[in-house]
Structure 1
Amino acid sequence: MPQFTFSVTEQLIPNQDYTDKKKQLRIHVDNMRADDDEFYALINNIIVGEDQKGKIIDAMKKETTARKDRDESIYTDVISKINKAVNSFNEQVADMKKQRLSVTYEDKTE
Protein backbone atom coordinates (compact mmCIF):
# COMPACT_ATOMS: atom_id res chain seq x y z
CA MET A 1 0.00 0.00 0.00
CA PRO A 2 1.39 3.38 -0.93
CA GLN A 3 2.21 5.77 1.87
CA PHE A 4 1.81 9.50 1.63
CA THR A 5 3.19 12.21 3.88
CA PHE A 6 2.30 15.83 4.12
CA SER A 7 3.70 18.49 6.42
CA VAL A 8 2.16 21.66 7.75
CA THR A 9 3.13 24.32 10.24
CA GLU A 10 0.48 24.96 12.85
CA GLN A 11 0.26 27.70 15.40
CA LEU A 12 -0.39 25.95 18.69
CA ILE A 13 -0.55 28.98 20.97
CA PRO A 14 -1.96 32.39 19.99
CA ASN A 15 0.53 35.17 19.39
CA GLN A 16 0.97 37.91 21.93
CA ASP A 17 2.34 41.35 21.14
CA TYR A 18 5.14 42.54 23.41
CA THR A 19 5.56 46.05 21.97
CA ASP A 20 4.27 47.47 25.27
CA LYS A 21 7.64 46.43 26.73
CA LYS A 22 9.27 49.16 24.64
CA LYS A 23 7.40 51.79 26.63
CA GLN A 24 8.39 50.21 29.94
CA LEU A 25 12.06 50.21 28.95
CA ARG A 26 11.93 53.73 27.51
CA ILE A 27 10.63 55.07 30.83
CA HIS A 28 14.00 54.23 32.41
CA VAL A 29 15.90 55.90 29.57
CA ASP A 30 13.67 58.97 29.83
CA ASN A 31 14.30 59.14 33.60
CA MET A 32 18.07 59.06 33.05
CA ARG A 33 17.74 61.70 30.33
CA ALA A 34 15.72 63.93 32.69
CA ASP A 35 18.35 63.55 35.42
CA ASP A 36 21.08 64.47 32.94
CA ASP A 37 19.10 67.48 31.70
CA GLU A 38 18.73 68.67 35.27
CA PHE A 39 22.45 68.19 35.88
CA TYR A 40 23.45 70.08 32.74
CA ALA A 41 20.99 72.87 33.57
CA LEU A 42 22.63 73.25 36.99
CA ILE A 43 26.08 73.37 35.43
CA ASN A 44 24.91 75.87 32.84
CA ASN A 45 23.38 78.07 35.56
CA ILE A 46 26.63 78.07 37.50
CA ILE A 47 28.81 78.82 34.48
CA VAL A 48 26.55 81.17 32.51
CA GLY A 49 24.17 82.39 35.18
CA GLU A 50 26.93 83.75 37.38
CA ASP A 51 28.54 85.44 34.36
CA GLN A 52 31.80 83.53 34.74
CA LYS A 53 34.55 84.20 32.20
CA GLY A 54 37.97 82.85 31.38
CA LYS A 55 39.78 79.94 29.76
CA ILE A 56 38.72 77.44 32.43
CA ILE A 57 35.07 78.44 32.06
CA ASP A 58 35.31 78.22 28.26
CA ALA A 59 36.88 74.76 28.57
CA MET A 60 34.12 73.70 30.98
CA LYS A 61 31.43 74.95 28.59
CA LYS A 62 33.03 73.08 25.70
CA GLU A 63 33.42 69.86 27.72
CA THR A 64 29.86 70.08 29.05
CA THR A 65 28.43 70.56 25.57
CA ALA A 66 30.49 67.66 24.19
CA ARG A 67 29.43 65.40 27.06
CA LYS A 68 25.76 66.34 26.67
CA ASP A 69 25.90 65.61 22.92
CA ARG A 70 27.58 62.25 23.58
CA ASP A 71 24.98 61.35 26.21
CA GLU A 72 22.15 62.25 23.83
CA SER A 73 23.72 60.03 21.18
CA ILE A 74 23.88 57.17 23.69
CA TYR A 75 20.21 57.63 24.59
CA THR A 76 19.21 57.59 20.93
CA ASP A 77 21.25 54.41 20.40
CA VAL A 78 19.69 52.75 23.46
CA ILE A 79 16.16 53.57 22.24
CA SER A 80 17.01 52.07 18.85
CA LYS A 81 18.39 48.93 20.48
CA ILE A 82 15.30 48.62 22.69
CA ASN A 83 13.11 48.71 19.57
CA LYS A 84 15.23 46.07 17.82
CA ALA A 85 15.41 43.83 20.89
CA VAL A 86 11.66 43.88 21.51
CA ASN A 87 10.92 43.27 17.82
CA SER A 88 13.36 40.35 17.77
CA PHE A 89 11.83 38.99 20.98
CA ASN A 90 8.35 39.19 19.42
CA GLU A 91 9.54 37.21 16.40
CA GLN A 92 11.34 34.58 18.50
CA VAL A 93 8.32 34.00 20.73
CA ALA A 94 6.00 33.80 17.72
CA ASP A 95 8.29 31.21 16.11
CA MET A 96 8.30 29.08 19.27
CA LYS A 97 4.50 29.00 19.28
CA LYS A 98 4.46 27.22 15.92
CA GLN A 99 5.06 23.53 15.37
CA ARG A 100 5.86 21.69 12.18
CA LEU A 101 3.67 18.60 11.87
CA SER A 102 4.13 15.68 9.48
CA VAL A 103 1.32 13.24 8.84
CA THR A 104 1.95 9.92 7.14
CA TYR A 105 -0.93 7.79 5.94
CA GLU A 106 -1.55 4.75 3.78
CA ASP A 107 -3.97 4.74 0.91
CA LYS A 108 -6.06 1.59 1.42
CA THR A 109 -8.48 2.26 -1.41
CA GLU A 110 -6.45 0.23 -3.89
Structure 2
Amino acid sequence: MDNERSIKVTERIFELQNFDHKKPILNYYVDYFFQVDSQFFTLFHNLIINEQQKGEIVEAMKEESLNFAKENILLLNHLESRVDELVRELESQINEMNLQDMTITYKEHVKDS
Protein backbone atom coordinates (compact mmCIF):
# COMPACT_ATOMS: atom_id res chain seq x y z
CA MET A 1 0.00 0.00 0.00
CA ASP A 2 1.35 3.45 -0.93
CA ASN A 3 0.68 6.61 1.03
CA GLU A 4 1.21 9.93 -0.68
CA ARG A 5 3.05 12.47 1.47
CA SER A 6 4.12 16.06 0.95
CA ILE A 7 6.61 18.31 2.62
CA LYS A 8 7.05 22.03 2.12
CA VAL A 9 10.51 23.56 2.08
CA THR A 10 12.04 26.90 1.24
CA GLU A 11 15.22 26.81 -0.76
CA ARG A 12 17.65 29.53 -1.68
CA ILE A 13 18.06 29.61 -5.45
CA PHE A 14 21.16 31.83 -5.56
CA GLU A 15 23.86 32.73 -3.07
CA LEU A 16 23.18 35.58 -0.67
CA GLN A 17 23.94 38.88 -2.35
CA ASN A 18 26.01 41.66 -0.80
CA PHE A 19 25.76 45.16 -2.23
CA ASP A 20 28.27 46.98 -0.04
CA HIS A 21 30.18 47.80 -3.22
CA LYS A 22 27.28 50.12 -4.18
CA LYS A 23 27.79 52.40 -1.18
CA PRO A 24 30.80 54.31 -2.59
CA ILE A 25 28.91 54.86 -5.85
CA LEU A 26 25.88 56.26 -4.03
CA ASN A 27 28.07 58.37 -1.76
CA TYR A 28 29.89 59.72 -4.82
CA TYR A 29 26.61 61.01 -6.25
CA VAL A 30 25.53 62.51 -2.93
CA ASP A 31 28.88 64.34 -2.82
CA TYR A 32 28.42 65.40 -6.42
CA PHE A 33 25.01 66.89 -5.59
CA PHE A 34 26.60 68.77 -2.68
CA GLN A 35 29.21 70.20 -5.05
CA VAL A 36 26.71 71.23 -7.73
CA ASP A 37 24.44 72.78 -5.12
CA SER A 38 27.35 74.68 -3.60
CA GLN A 39 28.49 75.90 -7.01
CA PHE A 40 25.01 77.10 -7.87
CA PHE A 41 24.58 79.06 -4.65
CA THR A 42 28.08 80.51 -4.93
CA LEU A 43 27.27 81.69 -8.45
CA PHE A 44 23.93 83.09 -7.31
CA HIS A 45 25.59 84.84 -4.36
CA ASN A 46 28.27 86.33 -6.62
CA LEU A 47 25.71 87.61 -9.11
CA ILE A 48 23.23 89.08 -6.64
CA ILE A 49 25.11 89.96 -3.46
CA ASN A 50 28.61 90.80 -4.64
CA GLU A 51 27.24 93.01 -7.39
CA GLN A 52 25.78 95.21 -4.64
CA GLN A 53 22.26 94.77 -5.94
CA LYS A 54 19.65 96.48 -3.80
CA GLY A 55 15.88 96.45 -3.46
CA GLU A 56 13.03 94.44 -2.01
CA ILE A 57 13.07 91.86 -4.79
CA VAL A 58 16.81 91.28 -4.36
CA GLU A 59 16.40 90.94 -0.58
CA ALA A 60 13.53 88.48 -1.07
CA MET A 61 15.66 86.48 -3.54
CA LYS A 62 18.54 86.39 -1.04
CA GLU A 63 16.26 85.15 1.72
CA GLU A 64 14.59 82.54 -0.48
CA SER A 65 17.92 81.32 -1.79
CA LEU A 66 19.23 80.88 1.76
CA ASN A 67 16.10 78.95 2.76
CA PHE A 68 16.39 76.83 -0.38
CA ALA A 69 20.08 76.15 0.28
CA LYS A 70 19.34 75.10 3.87
CA GLU A 71 16.58 72.73 2.71
CA ASN A 72 18.88 71.22 0.09
CA ILE A 73 21.62 70.66 2.66
CA LEU A 74 19.15 68.99 5.04
CA LEU A 75 17.88 66.73 2.24
CA LEU A 76 21.38 65.82 1.10
CA ASN A 77 22.47 65.12 4.70
CA HIS A 78 19.42 62.88 5.11
CA LEU A 79 20.22 61.07 1.87
CA GLU A 80 23.84 60.65 2.91
CA SER A 81 22.77 59.14 6.24
CA ARG A 82 20.38 56.74 4.48
CA VAL A 83 22.87 55.20 2.03
CA ASP A 84 23.71 52.28 4.36
CA GLU A 85 20.04 51.69 5.11
CA LEU A 86 19.08 51.80 1.42
CA VAL A 87 21.78 49.28 0.51
CA ARG A 88 20.63 46.95 3.32
CA GLU A 89 17.02 47.24 2.10
CA LEU A 90 18.11 46.42 -1.45
CA GLU A 91 20.07 43.38 -0.22
CA SER A 92 17.11 42.21 1.81
CA GLN A 93 14.69 42.53 -1.11
CA ILE A 94 17.00 40.77 -3.56
CA ASN A 95 17.81 37.98 -1.10
CA GLU A 96 14.14 37.54 -0.29
CA MET A 97 13.38 37.12 -4.00
CA ASN A 98 16.05 34.40 -4.17
CA LEU A 99 14.00 32.14 -1.91
CA GLN A 100 11.66 29.64 -3.49
CA ASP A 101 8.94 27.75 -1.67
CA MET A 102 8.63 24.18 -2.89
CA THR A 103 6.32 21.32 -2.16
CA ILE A 104 7.77 17.85 -2.55
CA THR A 105 5.24 15.11 -2.95
CA TYR A 106 6.32 11.49 -2.68
CA LYS A 107 4.82 8.09 -2.18
CA GLU A 108 5.70 6.22 0.90
CA HIS A 109 5.56 2.51 0.44
CA VAL A 110 4.08 0.80 3.48
CA LYS A 111 4.34 -2.96 3.72
CA ASP A 112 1.17 -4.81 4.47
CA SER A 113 1.42 -6.80 7.66
Per-residue CA deviations over 1:21-70 (Å, capped at 9, x if unaligned) read 233123123212112113323444552x5666654443232122012123
For 2:40 and 2:13, the matched residues in 1 are separated by 51
Equivalence for 2:9: 8
Q: TM-score, normalised by structure 2?
A: 0.68
RMSD: 3.0
For 1:96 and 1:76, the matched residues in 2 are separated by 31
Equivalence for 1:22: 23
Q: TM-score, normalised by structure 1?
A: 0.69
Percentage of matched positions with identical amino acids: 28
Equivalence for 2:101: 100
Equivalence for 1:38: 39
Unaligned 5+ runs, structure 1 = none
Unaligned 5+ runs, structure 2 = none
* 1:31 match: secondary structure: helix
Equivalence for 2:92: 91
